[in-house]
Structure 1
Amino acid sequence: MNVTLKINGLETQARFNDQEVETLHKPLLKQLAEKQRQLQRRLVVFLAAPPGTGKSTLAAFWEYLSTQDTELPVIQALPMDGFHHYNDYLLANNLKQHKGAPQTFNVAKLTDALRALHQPESEWPQYDRNLHDPVENAITVKAPIVVVEGNWLLLNQPEWQSLRALCDYSVFISAQPERLSERLIGRKMRGGLTRQQAVDFFQMTDGLNVLRVLENSQPANMQLCMDEQGGYHQIL
C-alpha cells in the first residue's frame, strides 16, 4: 500500500506491506476502537520507539487507516516534539548540543497536556522544522483516539515514569541498533550533511539516544519489532 501522509505539516510518501496492514495494523486499530468504546472517553495511546524506527510515519498511517474504515473511530497522531524546551532555554542551560535527549524536553508541560486530553477538546503544540522551535496550540485535539508518539514516553526515569498513569495503552518498537544507524546517517545525508558529518552526529547524539531508548524503556502493552525492510511484526 502506497500512501501520502502529512507529518509535521509536510507531505511524505510511505509504503506499507499489504499483508502487514491486514494482519497487524487493522486488527490493532480495531482493538483500540473496542477499548475506547469500553472506556466511553478519549483513549490515549503511547507509541514509543528509538529514533529511526518510523514511529511518526506509523502514527500518521494509523490516522490515515482510521479514515478509510467506517467502523473505526477517528484516530489523531500527536507528536511529542512540540514539548522540546525552546532554543533560548537550551542555550541558557548549555543543552543545545543535546537537543532530542530527555533533558531537553519540558516534561511538566507534557504532563499537563496529557491530562488535558481528557477534556472534549484541547490544544497540542507542534515542532516547527523551519523555526526549530515549538509552536503552541498548533493542533486542536478532537479525535476519540489519540496516538502520542515519541522516543521517551516509556523512559524508565522518575519524572517520565509518571506519564504512564496518563496512558491507556502503549506500543513499543524495537530494532537492531546497527540497522537504525544506517537509517539515521542516511537521513542526515539527505538533509545536506556529508557522510562524515552524519556519522559524527550519529555518534554524538542519535546513537546515544537509540541505545538509551532500547535499554531503558518500560515494558509496553504491545511490542513491535522493525525488520530489515522497515516493516513491523509483533513480538509475542
Structure 2
Amino acid sequence: MWTIIKPFFGWAFLSSIILIGLCLFVVGNLLWLAEHNKNSEQFPKHYLKGVREGVWCALTTFSTVGYGDRYPVTNFGRFVAGSWMLISLVAVTTLTAGIATTLALAFSAQTYRNLQSPSDLKGVRLVTISGSKAVEWGQYYQGRIVEVDSLSEGIRKLESNQVDGVLYSRLALEYYLYQNPQLPYGVVDFDIGTQNYSIALTQDNPLTEKLNEQIVSIDMQLRFQEFKETWFKSQLNN
C-alpha cells in the first residue's frame, strides 16, 4: 500500500498542491479587496472572515462546482473571478493528468518490484512483438500476452497503463531505454530464455574477414574469462 501512495508524498506532487493552495489564497484576497466595500454581505469587511469567503469562492470556481453562494458584483471582482476561471481550466486538467500519471507509475513500479523470477509472469499483462519468440515464452509462463507490430507501440501501451510490462529481447529493450532516458522504466534482473543472433553478409563483402576475426577474438576472450573464473574458483575451494 505504501508503494502506491508514496508518490503522492513526493516533492513534485506536494509542490503542485502547495502552489494551488497559494493561488487560492491570493485569489481569495483579491476577491475580498474588490468586494468587501460594496458586497460586504458575501465578503465581510473583517479580514479573516472576508478572505475565508474569498478563498471559498475561489475553491468552488477552481473545482468547477460553482455553488453560486458567493459571487463578485464589482468590475474588478468579476475580472479576478473570470481570470481565475480561465486559469482553473488549465490547472484542473494539468492536476488531473499529474494524478493519473502518478498512479500509473506507482502501479508500474509495484509490478516491477513483484517480478523476481519467470514464474511471477503468470497473469501479468505483457505486450510483445507479434511473431517473436517472446510470444511463445510469455504463453509458456502463462502471461496475458498482447501482441503489437513494433516496440514503440508496446511502450505506448505501457505508458497508457494498458499493460503491466513489455516482454522482448533484453538487448532491444536496454537500447530503447538508452535512446529514451526520459522513460521511467527498467529491465528486470532475470532472463526467461536464450536466443541466438546471426549476421548475414554477401560472399564478396570486404567486412567478412574482419568480422570473423572479431568474432573469434570475442569468443577467445569469453572462453578465457570462463577458464579463469573456473580455475580460480577451483583453486580457492582447494
TM bucket by the smaller chain?
A: under 0.3
Structure with the greater alpha carbon radius of gyration: 2
TM-score in terms of structure 2 length: 0.23
Higher RCO (Cα < 8 Å, 6 or more apart): 1
**Higher share in helix:** 2
